[in-house]
Amino acid sequence: MLGDGGVGPHQITITLNAITDADYADFVVDVIVQMFGLIPSQKTRKNACNIVVSSIELVEFLCQKGLVRGNKVTHQVTLPLWILDHPDFVKACLRGLMDTDGSIYRAAHIVAGNSYEHACLCFRNYSKPLLNTVHHIMVNLGYHPTIGRNRVYLYRQKEIKRYFNEISTHNPKHFKRYEAIAGSRDKTPVE
């Protein structure tokens, strides 16, 4: 919900890419059904898949848990404290944020005239408190992220591999991209 989701007065909506996030959308629907016993509607327009649950009770429950109705950027949201108090919740929340607002891409740079390419893990969000919290979480977990305008980056290849092994992902596109970039150097499956 803090990534690609939104809380309205009477419903929640999660918007994902209908093509690249198709498998992840199925996962999100299954989680909603398992957690809340509610069956979301799914509507696809162009490249967007909207997962919608209309339930005032669910909206009230999520607000009681620390989520905010309305625009997350305007409200400058961050993680509710109850998540930060439990290490398993922190990792699960980081995974969910990366699954929705994260990306893995090929970064290129030149050092001493030699060209190098490697993977980069990036979290992008326009809520400064949330961005700072993600950076802080990663540091506390022993990573060495850098923070820039609206983004947190992880460049160290061993740490990206560790992220996929320890935090993991439920969004298959991220691991597929990582495998494609890492190539034959890293074929370790993620559980």
At residue 189, the pLDDT reads 42
- Considering only CA atoms, which of 150, 148, 149, 2 is closest in space to residue 72? 2
At residue 186, the pLDDT reads 43
Separation between Cα atoms, residue 142 and residue 145, nearest integer Å: 9
* Ordered structural domains, the chain, with CATH: 5-70 (3.10.28.10), 95-185 (3.10.28.10)
Helix-, strand-, coil-residue percentages of the chain, each rounded to 5: 45, 25, 30
Residue 16 burial (CB count, 10 A): 24
**pLDDT by residue (tens digit) across 9-25?**
999 999 999 999 999 99
Separation of first and last alpha carbons in the chain: 24
**pLDDT by residue (tens digit) across 150-163?**
999 999 999 999 99
**pLDDT by residue (tens digit) across 85-108?**
999 999 999 999 999 999 999 988
pLDDT of 187 strictly over 80: no
- Residue 127 phi/psi, 5-degree rounding, is -95, 110
Contact 154, 145 (CB under 8 A): yes
pTM of the model: 0.89
Burial of 133 (0-12, 13-18, 19+ CB in 10 A): buried
pLDDT of 51 strictly over 90: yes
- Considering only CA atoms, which of 164, 170, 166, 178 is closest in space to residue 141? 166
